[in-house]
A and B are shown apart, each in its own frame.
Chain A
Amino acid sequence: MPHRLGPMQTLPSPMRKFAESDVVDYCTVGVGSAGGVLVQRLARAGFRVVALEAGPFWDTERDWVSDENGSHELYWNDLRITGGTHPLALGANNCGKGVGGGSVHWAAFAPRFHPSDFRVYSEDGVGADWPISYWDLKHYYELLEREIPIAGPAWFPWGDPHGHPYGPHPLGGVGDVLVRGCTRLGIRTAAGGPVAILSASHGDRPHCIYRGFCLQGCKVGAKASTLITHVPDAITHGAEIRAHSMASRISVRDDGRVDGVVYIDRDGREQFQKSRAVIVSGYAIETPRLLFNSACPGHRHGLANSSGTLGKFLMAQAGNVVAGRFDELIRLYKAPPAHALSEEFYETDRRRDFARGFAIQTVGPLPVAFAKQMIAAMGAWGWGLRRVMMDYNHWATLGVLGEILPWEDNRVELAEEKDQFGLRVAKVTFNLHDNDKKLIEFGKNKVMEVMWAAGARQVVQESRFAHLVGAARMGKDPSTSVVDKFGRTHDIPNLFICDGSVLPTQGSANPGLTIQALAARTADYLIQQGDAIFFSNRRDLAEPRIRYDLSPPYTRFKGNPRLA
């Protein structure tokens, strides 16, 4: 049987296999949102690339199901310790394992960050500035919106106004509630996107069938994950994706450069992949964990941690879910969970007593997730739980997506406990600060107001958090950041980080699109630098030329509409 990536696409075969003794150009760790895009471009540009992935290489027809409980293996289920005043739920909440990483189970909202997100410290005196501006990333946003591609309105009014290559999706019952409630309060909305879900077929990927199982892995192949958008093209162009390979340590030479990655293969044996440079794309927990676990003489506190900021400034977004019960039927399980939003409260408003803002977005919990929300939001149990669940089809759910600022005490460290490979597991500490609490209180109340305005008879809410970024942030100053604006670590010239952990702030936009745009930019930089990365310690900070010739198939002839 061929290896299936959706109903039409198959994995290119055979995949190149490098020999144990081969020294490759790049060994990358983690094939998620960032890793998939990065490896695809490096392979197209002719580099010899091995990508290690801790989880399996999914065959979507064989491994994925339209079932909540049956999708448990999509998540990073290995032990981590979580604490602080507001401990983050991990696992299914925000961490993927397997080729495609978290992009396999993201809801696929794909808004851009706003220009203000890159200047939070300058504009608001809190958080941090990025070492790049929105305008450095804009063309990468446009390019990735065409490659993925993104469906949404032709006119999106917030931030840097823009349009989306594919048309918007039809509204489901929850989107109706969002539009109705917001409209009654005079709040502008966008419907049918922006989401990384096909509203029309794209090459060998069918369009959406509105079955609502986005978070369980899209068997249809309509929702984008790098497993189906970029990884096949990477393999076609000679990259090796090595699944079931858990990186345990990055090897550092005496001259201060790295020379490969030690990993544990699917049979539990330790292996060493030699490479001329290493890129870590493990996301905001596994990336710092691997760098901490790679501590060695000269890097006692972890690799790339001379600043002491590795693992710090971890961010999650406020993700409070507001649920409203309506007299009429909603049937919230239909349509993608992500399909309508408002960014009307995204920017700092001087009339409010906090900096930055939040978005309002549809969410679509399936029965098990919804039952858990009712346990938390209503204290439901016993007969009360049975009763509220019998009304499942009468409820609609909207999410707050609120910006939480980067704080030094929100961090990833190593715990004493070890995992099945004998590696120390991550300990995650998360605390809310004053600005965060005020923002969440305001956002939560505003979304509850929207729900009442939409005609709900009862409104409840649950506190939770969404996404994970930061913990290896980029910056100009090597004493306060881990990597430079291209993801190169300040300390080690041939060690890079390319994933959500480099974000200095997070806005109130879902981070997936931004992570992929940054990965494409990092790839262009590496390609432009060529062999200098492998032999020189010189740090060239000139912006690379954007490479429009490295996109996956079917990108050509797509456009970014502008209705200015």
Chain B
Amino acid sequence: MSRKSFPIRSTGGDLRDLDQPGYYPGYSTMAQQKSWDRATRNVVSQRLEETPPTHFFSPQEAALLGAVIDRVMPQDDRSDARTIPILSVIDQRLHKNALNGFRYEDMPPDQDAYRLGLKAIERMARSRFKQPFVELSIHRQELILKSLHDGKPDPEQAVWKRMPVHRFWALLMEDCVTAYYSHPWAWNEIGFGGPAYPRGYMRLENGLPEPWEKDEQRYDWNAPVDSLSELDEQGAPPEHGSLHGHGGGH
């Protein structure tokens, strides 16, 4: 089941079934792959071409996590053929139990954290709206997820007494952005230069594009009208120290 909710160009009209959202129309990092080294080309091409099958999650868990991902990392504006796989990347990490080098002392292992978190989300849906999470309207799904984002689960759930909700949220979000923003289609969307060895860059200052990059062509757009996930100037969560392993360090 696929339910979508489209962002709207402020001059009118849904932004739907786009091959490439963002402000860099016609920009393609993959068009540059001939100028990359072989090892990088292999890694990026594989990401583009292969979607590994689901091993770790059960079909029910996969459907539920898929619905969660559709809200926390929405791609309703992207055409089906240009939807970036996220669930399969998370599944593969957990299947291999690939760690990021540490676990918070108040957190269960990543595999357990996902199973527990999904269980809690499903219970919250049934207790608040008397329906499975995947069958809720998009708005109701967002109500539940927003309460996790805010660190105030509504309704309360026993799982969140055992596992800090802000850490689960960070785990989920970081896995989602790791999958999305390591995909070349996302690089095209945000105008990132992509791999650059051995060619390198020559225009370092003033944000100027390289010959193969594109100028920005901005347009205004709005999230779907009832969406709760738009940026909120007061939306920064309380500080919990560094939550992730790679801050573009010094």
Question: Interface on A for B, CB 8 Å cutoff?
Answer: 7, 61-70, 72, 75-83, 86-95, 107, 109, 170-173, 176, 209-213, 215, 219-220, 317, 319, 321, 328-331, 333-335, 337-338, 361, 363-373, 375-390, 392-393, 397, 399, 401, 427-428, 460, 462-467, 510
Tell me, yes or no, whether B50 is within 8 Å of chain A by CB: no
CB distance from B113 to the nearest CB of A (A): 14
Q: List 23 A-B contacts (CB under 8 A).
A: A65-B195, A87-B104, A88-B102, A89-B245, A92-B101, A93-B249, A170-B204, A210-B200, A215-B248, A220-B200, A329-B207, A333-B193, A334-B204, A367-B181, A367-B182, A367-B192, A368-B182, A382-B228, A383-B7, A387-B230, A388-B231, A427-B105, A464-B247
Q: Are B104 and A466 in contact (CB under 8 A)?
A: no
Q: Looking across the interface, which residue of chain A has its beta carbon closest to that of B227?
A: A383
Per-residue interface assignment for chain B, residues 89 to 102, with 1 indicating a CB less than 8 Å from any chain A CB and 0 otherwise: 00000000011111
CB distance from B6 to the nearest CB of A (A): 11
Tell me, yes or no, whether B161 is within 8 Å of chain A by CB: no
Q: Are A372 and B244 in contact (CB under 8 A)?
A: yes
The listed residue (B36, B103, B173) touching A66 by CB distance below 8 A is B36
Q: Are B250 and A466 in contact (CB under 8 A)?
A: yes
| Cα separation A366 to B227 with both chains bound (whole Å) | 28
A337 proximity list for chain B (CB < 8 A): 248, 250
| Cα separation A328 to B205 with both chains bound (whole Å) | 11
Known pairs A79-B99, A91-B245; A66 contacts B195 (CB<8 A): yes
CB distance from B16 to the nearest CB of A (A): 14
Tell me, yes or no, whether B37 is within 8 Å of chain A by CB: yes
Q: Are A365 and B248 in contact (CB under 8 A)?
A: yes
CB distance from B139 to the nearest CB of A (A): 12
The listed residue (B40, B205, B244, B247) touching A319 by CB distance below 8 A is B247
Q: Are B37 and A80 in contact (CB under 8 A)?
A: no
B189 proximity list for chain A (CB < 8 A): 389-390
Q: Are B246 and A90 in contact (CB under 8 A)?
A: no
The listed residue (B182, B192, B204, B223) touching A69 by CB distance below 8 A is B182
Residue among A366, A367, A392, A467 with the most chain B CB within 10 A? Answer: A367
Q: Are B242 and A93 in contact (CB under 8 A)?
A: yes
| Cα separation A373 to B243 with both chains bound (whole Å) | 9
Known pairs A170-B204, A173-B207, A384-B232; A372 contacts B246 (CB<8 A): yes
Q: Are B250 and A510 in contact (CB under 8 A)?
A: yes
Q: Are A80 and B241 in contact (CB under 8 A)?
A: no
The listed residue (B40, B177, B230) touching A65 by CB distance below 8 A is B40
Per-residue interface assignment for chain B, residues 192 to 214, with 1 indicating a CB less than 8 Å from any chain A CB and 0 otherwise: 11111111111111111100000
Tell me, yes or no, whether B153 is within 8 Å of chain A by CB: no
A66 proximity list for chain B (CB < 8 A): 36-37, 40, 194-197
The listed residue (A68, A90, A390, A428) touching B22 by CB distance below 8 A is A390
Per-residue interface assignment for chain B, residues 171 to 189, with 1 indicating a CB less than 8 Å from any chain A CB and 0 otherwise: 0011001101110001101
Stretch at the interface among B51-59, B69-77, B119-127, B128-136: B69-77
Q: Looking across the interface, which residue of chain B has its beta carbon closest to that of A341?
A: B250
| Cα separation A330 to B149 with both chains bound (whole Å) | 30
Residue among B182, B209, B228, B244 with the most chain A CB within 10 A? Answer: B244
CB distance from A155 to the nearest CB of B (A): 22
B195 proximity list for chain A (CB < 8 A): 65-67, 211, 213
Tally chain B residues at the interface, Cβ within 8 Å.
Answer: 82
Q: Is the interface of B mostly helix, strand, loop or mixed?
A: loop
Across the A-B interface, give the 10 residue pairs with the lowest CB-CB distance, nearest first.
Answer: A382-B229, A91-B101, A329-B207, A365-B248, A209-B200, A83-B105, A464-B242, A66-B195, A211-B196, A384-B231
Q: Are A77 and B98 in contact (CB under 8 A)?
A: yes
| Cα separation A95 to B100 with both chains bound (whole Å) | 11
Tell me, yes or no, whether B235 is within 8 Å of chain A by CB: yes
Q: Looking across the interface, which residue of chain A has its beta carbon closest to that of B170?
A: A375
| Cα separation A86 to B198 with both chains bound (whole Å) | 40
Tell me, yes or no, whether B237 is within 8 Å of chain A by CB: yes
| Cα separation A143 to B40 with both chains bound (whole Å) | 35
B7 proximity list for chain A (CB < 8 A): 383
Q: Are A81 and B236 in contact (CB under 8 A)?
A: no
Tell me, yes or no, whether B49 is within 8 Å of chain A by CB: no
| Cα separation A321 to B244 with both chains bound (whole Å) | 13
Q: Are B173 and A375 in contact (CB under 8 A)?
A: yes
Q: Are B105 and A87 in contact (CB under 8 A)?
A: yes
Q: Are A369 and B216 in contact (CB under 8 A)?
A: no
A389 proximity list for chain B (CB < 8 A): 181, 186, 189-190
Q: Are B244 and A378 in contact (CB under 8 A)?
A: no
Chain B residues 125 to 173 lying within 8 A of chain A, measured CB to CB, are: 142, 145, 149, 170, 173
Q: Are B249 and A212 in contact (CB under 8 A)?
A: no
Q: Are B232 and A63 in contact (CB under 8 A)?
A: no
CB distance from A467 to the nearest CB of B (A): 7
| Cα separation A175 to B249 with both chains bound (whole Å) | 15
Q: Are B102 and A68 in contact (CB under 8 A)?
A: no
Known pairs A211-B196, A388-B231; A88 contacts B242 (CB<8 A): yes
| Cα separation A388 to B23 with both chains bound (whole Å) | 12
| Cα separation A467 to B247 with both chains bound (whole Å) | 12
Tell me, yes or no, whether B31 is within 8 Å of chain A by CB: no
Q: Are A81 and B207 in contact (CB under 8 A)?
A: no
Q: Are B247 and A95 in contact (CB under 8 A)?
A: no
CB distance from A125 to the nearest CB of B (A): 27
The listed residue (B72, B73, B99, B250) touching A399 by CB distance below 8 A is B250
A392 proximity list for chain B (CB < 8 A): 190-192
Q: Are B201 and A209 in contact (CB under 8 A)?
A: yes
Q: Are A90 and B101 in contact (CB under 8 A)?
A: yes
| Cα separation A518 to B74 with both chains bound (whole Å) | 50
Given contacts A211-B193, A331-B207, A464-B244, 7 further A-B pairs with CB under 8 A are A209-B199, A210-B204, A371-B177, A375-B244, A392-B191, A393-B207, A466-B250
